[in-house]
Amino acid sequence: VSPTSEKAGDIEVRIAGLHVHPIKSCGGIAVPEALVIETGFEFDRAWMVVDEAGRLVTQRELPRMALIQPTLKHHDMVLRAPGMLALHIALDTVELPVQVTVWNDTVKAYDMGDLAAQWFSDFLGPWRGGKLRLARFDPEQRRLSDPRWTGPIEAENAFADAFPLLVASTAGLGEFNRRMVAAGHAPVTMQRFRPNIVLDGLDAHGEDHLDEIVFAVPEGPVRIKMVKPCSRCSIPDVDPATAETGHAVGDALASYRADARLDGALTFGMNAVILEGIESTLRLGLTGSASYRFD
């Protein structure tokens, strides 16, 4: 459903998917429920692979990062990758405090030790002449989203690119895949676009036009506000199952998803911030009320 020239009423949406990506640019996890915290979902983009200078490394440079698959257990995160023994990372333990750089932000973090560094370096290979390391975001650090998009809302992030949540829709993926198939390519999964929340109940890319979504949970309302279309880089063209790269996804986006609001950048999904509901839990199948933006 898209807005008309007259004010439309709210629409009911349903959570069709919840996803957490513990290590920035590595594999994601489909989860049945997710705890909302100040920086988005608990454990989402809480860790990041860095070079020896503390600068982020992503699938843009090392597509094989897509093959690193985390699993969250009660007390640890288990990492698996082809040809590697499993690596266990304790959820309640960090090592040395360090500073790392995520895009233009230098922030406080914790190095996760030599064993993790060796594991990532062995699987991904040396990078920029040195070992790769794993860092965890320091929860005492406040890294805020761009106020040009959030206005007075101080939206905190961990290692996500720029905003705490990314929202997409099943209908949007369906329309995208219709175009992929028409162009002679196989359809892709939502993994390509790495959202946190996937919604049912919208027309194709209907999330573009939403303002707020309110979910009623036992802890109280969870209010999420859409603030910016999500511009896409080359990562959706990395196959999450094989780490092979291509250009079919980018070509399909270019055929219909150039966004004038971002000077023609290709977009899929909406970046969102949290207005209310910290320490509340969202669950699969939960319905909410979405309102439209009129601008």
- Residue 37 CA from chain centroid, whole number: 15
Residue 177 confidence (pLDDT): 98
Residue 126 confidence (pLDDT): 81
Query: Distance between CA 112 and CA 118 in Å, rounded?
Result: 11
Look at the pTM and tell me if it is higher than 0.85. yes
Query: Distance between CA 84 and CA 224 in Å, rounded?
Result: 39
Under-70 pLDDT residues of the chain: 1-8, 294-295
First to last CA, the chain: 17
Residue 9 confidence (pLDDT): 72
Query: Distance between CA 212 and CA 145 in Å, rounded?
Result: 17
Which of 57, 58, 47, 23 minimizes the C-alpha distance to 245? 58
Q: Give the amino acid at 136.
A: R
Query: Distance between CA 148 and CA 141 in Å, rounded?
Result: 21
Query: Distance between CA 54 and CA 99 in Å, rounded?
Result: 7
Q: How many CB atoms lie within 10 A of CB 46?
A: 25
Locate 163 and state its tokens. 């905003």
The alpha helices in 183-247, defined as continuous H runs, are none
Locate 77 and state its tokens. 């995160």
Q: How many CB atoms lie within 10 A of CB 96?
A: 10
Query: Distance between CA 286 and CA 258 in Å, rounded?
Result: 31
**Torsion angle (degrees, nearest 10) of CA 60, 77, 91, 118:** -60
Beta-bridged to residue 20, according to DSSP, are 29
